[in-house]
Structure 1
Amino acid sequence: MQQSLISVLIPFKNTQEFLDECLVSIINQTHTNWELLIIDDNSTDNSYNLVNDYAKKDNRIKLYKNEGSGIINALKLAFSKSKGDYITRMDSDDIMPDIKLETLFNNLQLHGKNHIATGLVSYFSAEGISDGYRKYEQWLNSLTTEGTNYSEIYKECVIPSPSWMIAKEDLLAIDAFNPTRYPEDYDLTFRFYEANYKVIPCKKVLHLWRDYGTRASRTDANYAENSFIDIKLHYFLKLDFDKSKPLVIWGAGNKGKTIAKKLIALNIPFQWICDNPKKIGKHIYDVEMKPFQHLETLAHFQSIVSVANKEEQVIIRTYFSKLKKESMRDYFFFC
């Protein structure tokens, strides 16, 4: 029986150092009926020639040059050239375990349309992985193992770009790569969430994620913190905001202040709470800072929590539980 065709989309720019490992890992996949649409996003090193050498030897590899610039334009081009019934992404500096395509495809076959297949990730780096990245990996994998990725979608991108596979018609139904909102992988994840596509639980490591100092997620302005706040607010206001309830920001640090300024610019009223006695009673941006116990005077509310400290987050969750409030309905952690 003929295997279904899977289209793998890769934008690349100046990653000649890592492309050999990436391409070999795709060539070695146990699911062999794939096509690679790989787009050179204006590289200035030898990346294009390196990929071209592989394309000459393997007709499954189809190399193009970006007609514009940036990851989104490259993805649009790659997708427009794709012929597969299933679509997946890959980053040019990462590595696929050889069972990745087979596992993702089999999971989609088992669960059917309106599902996202994903897998666990594992960071690696020549310089070693920082404690922060290791904790992120553990947090992300704990969600994917249970398929509960959406439960913390306002914290971070819970379905990273190189870790998913989807039926092409399902991707088309949510406008594929047409929106030009960065970070593009986070925007796509929110559109998965909006469409109520179910995340298939997975306990296998299916993506080896390379970290290094010049990786785009570290250096590109499109992935700066404010971009993440913008996209979180955009989708919160579109999908989960209940205008009939008072909106309360919890936290008066830099992130809380950024959220407050953006809400003010959008003419969306809010109340503001914290547990810092030095700030309580003061006005920031003409909004009075109240103690967090103020929530007990509100019968119904929605709260955006901007407190990043993990220990404090546990305490805040416990407090909300005592008030019989539910995550992703009454309160939303934005960090």
Structure 2
Amino acid sequence: MKPKLSIIVPIYNVEEFLEECINSILIQEFKDYELILVDDGSPDGCGKICDDYAAKDSRIKVIHKTNGGLSSARNAGIEVAAGRYLSFIDSDDFVSVDYFEKNMQYLVDHPEVDMLVAQVCYYDKLKSTTQYQHANLLDNKTQVLEYLFSVDYIASAWINIYHSNIFRGVRFPEGRIYEDGYILPQIADRAEKVYVSDQGIYYYRKRENSITSSRLHATSYRHHLDSYHRIIEYAINKGISKKIYCHYVFYYSHILFNAVRDYNMQEYEGYIKFWNSYPFSLFDAVWAKSIKSSVQFLLLKITGFKVLSKLFGS
């Protein structure tokens, strides 16, 4: 009999945290799952840890593959997944003991729901912050789109439990970062009903040398910009609210500003053309999250990137 849930854990160089991650899944009150451990060519002892766990529990499948990155590992897991629902857990994170029990019960009781969004705790040894949610069923397309592209939603695969139909014909883009944002328009197209859950907690481990806390490589900037461009184009085509559209234009502006500052204008000319083509007025700066963002955006609109590249370019 096929399991109700396939839990996919992509693994690379996390020997220090892997057992905590796996153990948090194995002690779940919910038992009707398969656990797919994808060893993405990890150079440490992760592969052996995976095999040792699989030898003790028949629900565990292990895939050993050549390193291909996060998207490649997730995709390898999707290919062999047999469950009606899919969950992705990063191998340095872990989940509360009740994470799957009530959430999966809700999905089983409401088969029309395509996607469940869980609660998250940003965890480290010194300080942790939990984002609690009120239970809410979004049962029409307008509500779903407004939520999935709002600041209230974390565009990360690990925060969701998906019906497997969502990933029919959809895979994570390999060789990219910000892969979850890149496929967000495709996920949004397929999700007709979304449940925001107030049960269980996903513990996202905050670690040093995070990509969000350091200067990005020129290619990484392009990957971020590609993802935001896809989202902005989708928002325009679907008529998503002005506030949400502006939110993503501000993000795009900020990343592009940093890219031009860290490298040069010529490197990102195509992205600047996209930015100039977005329908936007100076008055839309009122939607910025802070005065600093608003001022930065106004300066970009008034002076353009040519001036900024001379001031901040390498």
Shift of 1:9: 0.5
Of 197, 201, 204, 1:206 maps to 201
Structure 1 residues 62-100: Cα deviation after superposition (integer angstroms, max 9, x where no partner): 111124511111112111111112111111111111222
Does residue 169 in structure 1 map to residue 168 in structure 2?
no
Partners of 1:48 and 1:209 in 2: how far apart? 22
Output the CA distance in 2 between the equivalents of 1:114 and 1:100: 18
Relative to the length of structure 1, the TM-score reads 0.66
Match of 1:321 in 2: none
Letter in 1 for 2:186: R
Change (3 A) 1:90 1:28: same
Structure of higher CA gyration radius: 1
What is the CA-CA distance between 1:239 and the residue it aligns to? 4.3
RMSD value over aligned CA atoms?
4.0
Contact 1:114 1:170 in 2 (8 A): no
Paired residue secondary structure (2:171): coil
The reply on whether 1:309 has 2:290 as its aligned counterpart is yes
Q: Tell me whether 1:183 sits opposite 2:178 in the alignment.
A: yes
What is the alpha-carbon distance in structure 1 between the residues aligned to residue 119 and residue 59 of structure 2?
A: 26
Change (3 A) 1:264 1:256: closer
Mapping 1:55-134, distance limit 5 Å = 55-113=54-112, 115-129=114-128, 134=129
Q: TM-score, normalised by structure 2?
A: 0.70
Within 5 Å, give how 1:1-335 maps onto structure 2. 4-113=3-112, 115-129=114-128, 134=129, 138=131, 141=132, 150-151=145-146, 153=149, 158-172=154-168, 175-180=169-174, 182-214=177-209, 227-241=223-237, 254-255=254-255, 257=257, 262=270, 264-266=272-274, 269=277, 292=282, 295=283, 307-309=288-290
Aligned equivalents of 2:192 and 2:72: distance in 1? 25
Pair 1:223–1:154, CA change in 2 (3 A): farther
Task: Determine helix, strand or coil for the equivalent of 2:37.
Answer: strand
Shift of 1:117: 1.0
Helix, strand or coil at the partner of 1:165 = strand
Number of aligned residues? 273
> For structure 2, which runs of at least 5 residues remain unmatched after alignment?
240-244, 261-267, 295-314
Distance of 2:64 and 2:252 partners within structure 1? 46
Structure 1 residues 49 and 223, CA, compared in 2 at 3 Å: closer, same or farther?
farther
Secondary structure of 2:277's counterpart equals coil
* Identity of matched residues, %: 18
Structure number with the higher helix fraction is 2
**Cα displacement (A) at 1:210:** 1.2
Compute the displacement of 1:224 (Å).
Answer: 5.0
